[in-house]
Amino acid sequence: MTKTRITYYPVQFIVLHPLIPVTINTVLPSHIVKITGIKVVHSVGVQNMTTEKYLPVIGHLSLEFNSKQYHFGNIEVPFDYQAEASDEFLDAGIDIQRNSLLTGNYENKVFTGIDYLKADGTVTDKWSNYIVTIYLKTMSND
Amino acid sequence: MIRGFRFQKVSLRISKSGQRVYFNTESHKDFTQLKGIALTVGHEGALYGSTFGFRIDEKEVLDESHEAHLLVFGNDVAPNRKMLLFEIPIPINSSKIEGIYTDSSLQDLLGNASYNPGGGIISKNDVNVKKTYVSGKEVVKYSNFQVDGFQMLSGSGFSIGGYSVTPAPVTVVYYPYDVKVTLLLTR
């Protein structure tokens, strides 16, 4: 008999340009049957562009589940390089259809000035690519 | 008399940038549930971009790309605030416990421009090396590995990987540093 258990499933994406949105489009594994929590964190990269340890919003993430049938909403993504950073998940209760898509868009909101962006639209050497991770707390039946 | 809970600990030593450290051990025989997990890392600069994967009886609990800083408590954070507590405890019965700590594994991905102009999802194949759990081909035997303070012999399953990455230039990390894995077991 298959028993359902909690697992934590990360989805990582990279941001390569301050003004170009990142499109998220990936199939969730078939063993995930429900999502009970969501947390979005900055992983690495932004620390190369600032000496601050905390920025409340570096970008906005819009997330959709079940192949765009369910819009979870817009999430503000902070940059938090402190050990006491919150480790809470946003509550969710989304039943996941088998082999459905996780989709969405991420828009960067920081480091968009002339120090980071040339007139021709290319980035300067002060810009650093960065990685954001979406953590899904899931019920899995694998 | 045995108390109702126990903190089982595993100590790892990271000696160089990009090292992958694998361990396996067995859960204490007198306890039947795993309720939480936490890490302590000896060097704060090493926290970000390092990852920790975790399995019980060969069933994945934390993906190999799970970030270490989400599991770490330090001087200003009490263990019970930062420990990842499982709402549904994981049943154990002298279970096989495996973990993989990878130093600065995510920094290596920052220079990857093989995505759309703005970026995109990072392939699981780029972040995970799940075959490490089963093949052990990419790992090297290493003896400095402790469970609950007892030194384990060489060949007991502690291993270090061979690939290296370059950390971000402003992230200064001093090697070696120690990582302690704390498991909260209950009866």
Q: What is the predicted pLDDT for the residue at B89?
A: 92
Torsions phi, psi for A137 (to 5 deg)? -85, 120
Q: What is the predicted pLDDT for the residue at A33?
A: 96
Give the CATH number of domain B5-107+138-186; options: 3.30.300, 3.90.930, 1.10.10, 2.60.120.
2.60.120
**Cβ contact B118–A135 (<8 Å):** no
- pLDDT tens readout for residues A53-108: 899 999 999 999 999 999 999 999 999 887 777 778 999 999 999 999 999 999 99
Name the β-bridge partners of B7: B184
- Least CA distance to A19: which residue of chain B? B118
Q: What is the predicted pLDDT for the residue at B87?
A: 86
**Cβ contact A10–B65 (<8 Å):** yes
**Cβ contact B110–A45 (<8 Å):** yes
Question: What angle is formed at CA A57 by the lines to CA B51 and CA A131, rounded to 5 degrees?
Answer: 30
The model carries a pTM of 0.84
Look at A41-45, A77-81, A129-133, B156-160 and tell me which has the smallest mean pLDDT: B156-160
What's chain A's average pLDDT?
Answer: 92
Answer yes or no: are the C-beta atoms of B110 and B74 closer than 8 Å.
no
Contacting residues of A for B59, CB less than 8 Å apart = 5, 142
- Domain total for chain A? 1
Residue A78: give its domain's CATH number: 2.60.120
Mean pLDDT per block of 10 residues along chain B (187 residues) reads 82 86 90 93 82 90 89 77 87 92 84 76 70 42 49 40 40 82 92
Answer yes or no: are the C-beta atoms of B185 and B33 closer than 8 Å.
yes
Residue A42: domain span: 5-140
For the cut 50, the answer to whether the pLDDT of residue A14 exceeds it is yes
Q: What is the predicted pLDDT for the residue at B159?
A: 39
What is the spatial distance between Cα B39 and Cα B37, in angstroms, rounded to a whole number? 7
**Cβ contact B69–A83 (<8 Å):** yes
Categorise residue B49: left if φ over 0, alpha if ψ from -120 to 50, beta otherwise: left
A88 and chain B: CB distance < 8 Å anywhere? no
First and final C-alpha spacing in chain A: 11
What is the spatial distance between Cα B84 and Cα B73, in angstroms, rounded to a whole number? 10
